[in-house]
Amino acid sequence: MDLEAAKVIGAGLAAIGVGVASAGVGFVFGSFLQGALRNPGAADGQQGRLFIGFAAAELLGLIAFAVAMIILYAV
Amino acid sequence: MAAETTIDPMHQFQISGLTGALDGTPFVFTNSALWMLIVLGAITLFMWGGMKRELVPGRWQAAVEGFVEFVSGMALSSIGKEGRAYIPWIFTIFTFIIFANYLGMFPLAVFGPHPFTVTSQFTVTGLMAVMSFSIVLIVGFWKHGLHFFSLFVPHGTPKVMLPLIVPIEFVSFMVRPFSLALRLFVAMIAGHILLDVFGNFIVNGINSGSVMGYAISAISFLFIMGVNALELLVCAIQAYVFALLASLYINDAVHLH
C-alpha cells in the first residue's frame, strides 16, 4: 500500500472518533433533558454544568478531527 | 471555475501579507491582523452605541446591557462574589471570540473579499487560553501561596490513592490551556472546511452540466443551509464554553475546590 492511500484510510479511521463523540454529545443533552423534565424548576441552574459536559464530550471528537487533519495535511 | 477544480479547503486559513510578502520579515500587515482590527471596530461600535446611559434604554442600549449582564452573570455565578474582579477579562474574551466567530461567518464572499476567521488560528486561541491560565496561576499563588498545590488533592482522597490521584489531577490541570484553545480553533476550522467543501460541491455540480451534477448541487445546497444554521449555533456555544471554562478555572484558583 502506498503512503497516499494509507493516509486517506487513516484519516477515515480517525473520522470514526468524531461519530462516537457525537453519540457522547447526544447522551449529554439527552440525560440533561431527562433530568430537566423530571424537575423543570432545577433545570436552569444546571445549564453551566450541561455545557461543561458538552464541552468535555465535544473536545474528544474535535481531537479526532484534528488527528484526521494532521494525517491528511501535515504528515 | 472549471468543472474539475480540485477542492482546497485549507486555503481559507492561509495567512497572507497585505502590505508585502511573508518571507521572513517580521512586520507585515496580514489578513489576520486586518480582521482583528475589523473585530475590534465592530465591538467598539456595538458598545459605543449602547453607552448613552439613558434612563429608559432604547433597543441598542438594551442589547448591550443584556450582553454585559449575561457575561457578568456567568462570571458571578461560577466564581461567586469575588468574581467581580475577573468580569473584565471574561467579558473581553467572550466578546472577542463571539464577534470574531460571527464576522468569520459573514457571507462577504458574495461581493468578492473572503472573510478570515481570526479564531481559526491556534496562535490566537492559544494566546487567550495561556493568558486565562496565567491568571489562574498568578491569582492562585498570590492568594494561597504554596497551599495552591492542594488543588491536586481532592477532598476525602484516601492516603493510599494519593500517588495515583495527584499525577492525574496534575496532568488534567496542565492540559487545560491546551484543551481550551484546541476546542475553539478546531471547532471553527471544522465548520469552515465543511462549508467550503460543500460549497465546492454546489459549484462543481452545476458546472458539470449533467443531471446527476444538478441533483448533487441541490442536495448540497439544502445540506449547507443546515450546516450554516448549525455553525451559527456553534459560534455562540464555543464563545460561551470558552468564557465559562475560563471562569470555572479562575474559580478553582480563587476557592481551591
Q: B167-192, pLDDT tens digit by residue? A: 999 999 999 999 999 999 999 998 89
Shortest alpha-carbon distance between residue B241 and chain A (Å): 7
d(C-alpha B134, C-alpha B164), whole Å? 26
- What are the extents of the domains in chain A? 3-74
d(C-alpha B119, C-alpha B180), whole Å? 12
Count CB neighbours of B42 within 10 A.
15
Give CB contacts under 8 A, 24+ apart, made by A12-17.
A12/A68, A14/A64, A14/A65, A14/A67, A14/A68, A14/A71, A15/A64, A15/A65, A15/A68, A16/A64, A17/A60, A17/A61, A17/A63, A17/A64, A17/A65, A17/A67
Q: Nearest chain A residue to B188 by CA: give it.
A: A62
Residue B225 has pLDDT above 90, yes or no: yes
Of all residues in chain B, the percent with pLDDT exceeding 90 is: 48
Give the DSSP H/E element, type plus range, for residue B238: helix B211-255
d(C-alpha B77, C-alpha B71), whole Å? 10
Helices and strands of chain B, counted as H and E runs: 7, 0
Average pLDDT on B214-225 reads 92
> Has residue B3 been placed in a domain?
no
The domain tally of chain B equals 1
Shortest alpha-carbon distance between residue B53 and chain A (Å): 30
How far is Cα of residue B235 from the mean position of the Cα atoms in its chain?
Answer: 7
d(C-alpha A34, C-alpha B111), whole Å? 46
Q: Return the closest-CA partner of residue B199 out of B13, B4, B9.
A: B9
Q: What is the predicted pLDDT for the residue at B19?
A: 77
Q: What is the predicted pLDDT for the residue at B125?
A: 94
Q: What is the pLDDT of residues B121-178, one digit of tens each?
A: 899 999 999 999 999 999 999 999 888 888 888 888 888 888 888 999 999 999 999 9
With CB atoms and an 8 Å threshold, state whether B179 touches A52.
Answer: no
Grade residue B238 by pLDDT with cuts at 50, 70 and 90.
Answer: very high
Chain A positions touching B245 (Cβ under 8 A) are 52, 55
> Has residue B2 been placed in a domain?
no
Q: Does A69 touch chain B (CB under 8 A)?
A: yes
> Has residue B4 been placed in a domain?
no
Q: Does B250 touch chain A (CB under 8 A)?
A: no
Cα dist. B157→A10, B44, B146, B255 in Å? Answer: 41, 49, 20, 18
How far is Cα of residue B58 from the mean position of the Cα atoms in its chain?
Answer: 29
For residue B38, the enclosing domain spans 9-255
Grade residue B1 by pLDDT with cuts at 50, 70 and 90.
Answer: very low
Q: Nearest chain B residue to A45 by CA: give it.
A: B77
Q: Return the closest-CA partner of residue B254 out of B108, B127, B151, B130.
A: B151
> The C-alpha cell of B176 is what?
487545560
d(C-alpha A69, C-alpha B202), whole Å? 23
Yes or no: say if B186 and A66 are a contact pair by the CB < 8 Å rule.
yes
Q: What is the pLDDT of residues B74-118, one digit of tens each?
A: 999 988 888 899 999 999 999 999 999 999 888 887 787 788 889
Which amino acid type is present at position B34?
A: L
Chain A positions touching B187 (Cβ under 8 A) are 58, 62
Chain A positions touching B79 (Cβ under 8 A) are none
> Has residue B171 been placed in a domain?
yes
Helix (H, G, I), strand (E, B) or coil at B30: strand
> The C-alpha cell of B125 is what?
486561541
> The C-alpha cell of B237 is what?
456555544
Shortest alpha-carbon distance between residue A9 and chain B (Å): 19
> Has residue B1 been placed in a domain?
no
Grade residue B55 by pLDDT with cuts at 50, 70 and 90.
Answer: confident
Q: Does B144 touch chain A (CB under 8 A)?
A: no
> The C-alpha cell of B1 is what?
471555475
CB pairs < 8 Å spanning A and B? 36
* Complex ipTM: 0.83
Q: Return the closest-CA partner of residue B42 out of B16, B19, B67.
A: B67
Yes or no: say if B234 and A61 are a contact pair by the CB < 8 Å rule.
no
pLDDT: is A57 or B14 the higher one? A57
Yes or no: say if B100 and B117 are a contact pair by the CB < 8 Å rule.
yes
Q: Cell 496532568 appears where? A: B171
Q: What is the pLDDT of residues A1-20, one digit of tens each?
A: 788 899 999 999 998 999 99
Looking at CATH, the fold of the domain delimited by A3-74 is given as: F1FO ATP Synthase (1.20.20)
Q: Does A55 touch chain B (CB under 8 A)?
A: yes
Of all residues in chain B, the percent with pLDDT exceeding 70 is: 98
Average pLDDT on B41-70 reads 88
Q: What is the predicted pLDDT for the residue at B90?
A: 94
